[in-house]
Amino acid sequence: MDEPNSRVLSIEKISVNDPYIDGYIILATINRPNKLNALNSAVMDSLKSLCAWVESNQMIRCLVITGAQPMPADEGKRPKPNAFVAGADIAEFVGMDSRATRDKFADNAVEAIWSLTKPTIAMIDGFALGGGCELACSCDIRVASTRSKFGTPEINLGLIPGYGATQRLTKLIGYGKTLEMVMSGEMISAQEALNIGLVNHVCEHDNLREFTMELATKIATKSVHTLITAKRVIRAALNSTLDAGIALEAEEFANLFDSKDQQEGVRAFMERDKPKWHDE
């Protein structure tokens, strides 16, 4: 699987700063700042290619997704605001009927990100609205700048969310808060998003990249095999009963005792050494 190469999605490979790890973190930047990084078909296609590449490439240990910063404004023009992603591209909705919508939204990039087995982080600086909020919710962890704003304004277009907010947002922030966001269409601040559990961390925009990459590096220096197991078992909590989830955890916990990385992790601890993961 080749590295995706697209005008609307820039890819940066960041080496994991660890002498024992030969791999990298991918920083993928959605690059349509003049349209507040809105998700048009080209972006969605590129994100799907990105997911296939991330999943198949053994060197990739963690994916961070962000939105491009605004370009300098033309003379006399108002600068565009900062955005992670301001939603699905509304211009593409013109003239669409239910059949076209089913085709467009089936098997979409937000689901591809959600389905990734490797760790994912949304790095949010600015508007995360509609599909942008949903894209963030499909990542494992969300880090936002203080100037970010979150919302599900589809109600103002006579719509409901279509990339999973009615379900994934409900799992993150609960039934009542999701209803309020979806039915009012109002935006909330980064601080409120933090208070209700929509984001994991908020920091000043000047520190956002450093903070996020530090977190990504911490995760990327763990065993990929163990990370994938952790994500799969925690994800099961969303769909299973408590008893079934506990049974799954017990099974997967036991299985890890047959893995090379469990042996290595315990050896390294006992010998006061640093683990050298096999990722298996």
Active-site residue list:
134, 154
- Pairing of the two strands 149-151 and 83-85: unpaired
- Tell me the one-letter amino acid at 274: K
Helix (H, G, I), strand (E, B) or coil at 185: coil
Q: What is the distance between the alpha carbons of residues 9 and 55, in angstroms, rounded to a whole number?
A: 17
The tokens describing 31, both together, are 């690059």
Which 147-166 residues touch ligand COA, going by CB under 6 A?
Answer: 153-154, 157
Applying CB under 6 A, which of residues 129, 199, 216, 224 lies at the interface with ligand COA?
A: 129
Q: What is the DSSP letter of 88?
A: B
Site string for ligand COA, 91-120 (x = CB under 6 A): x-----------------------------
60 binds ligand COA (CB under 6 A): no
- C-beta of 89 vs 261, nearer to ligand COA: 89
134 binds ligand COA (CB under 6 A): no
Question: For the CA atoms of the chain, what is the radius of gyration?
Answer: 20
Contact 34, 81 (CB under 8 A): no
User: What's the maximum distance between 2 C-alpha atoms anywhere in the chain?
Assistant: 66
Applying CB under 6 A, which of residues 81, 174, 176, 197 lies at the interface with ligand COA?
A: 81
Binding footprint of ligand COA, residue count (CB under 6 A): 18
- Pairing of the two strands 188-189 and 149-151: antiparallel
Residues 6 or more apart from 147 whose CB is under 8 A from it? Answer: 82, 125, 126, 190, 205
Site string for ligand COA, 6-35 (x = CB under 6 A): -----------------------------x
Question: What residue spans of the chain are helical by DSSP H?
Answer: 41-56, 98-105, 109-115, 131-137, 170-173, 175-184, 190-195, 205-220, 224-236, 242-256, 260-270
- C-beta of 8 vs 25, nearer to ligand COA: 8
Applying CB under 6 A, which of residues 28, 47, 86, 137 lies at the interface with ligand COA?
A: 86
Only one of the segments 13-21, 82-90, 214-222, 233-241 lies at the binding site for ligand COA (rule: CB under 6 A); that segment is 82-90
Applying CB under 6 A, which of residues 46, 62, 89, 143 lies at the interface with ligand COA?
A: 89
> In the complex, what is the shortest distance from the CB of residue 118 to ligand COA, in angstroms, rounded to a whole number?
28
Applying CB under 6 A, which of residues 11, 14, 52, 90 lies at the interface with ligand COA?
A: 90
Residues that bind ligand COA (CB under 6 A): 35-36, 38, 80-81, 86-91, 127, 129-131, 153-154, 157
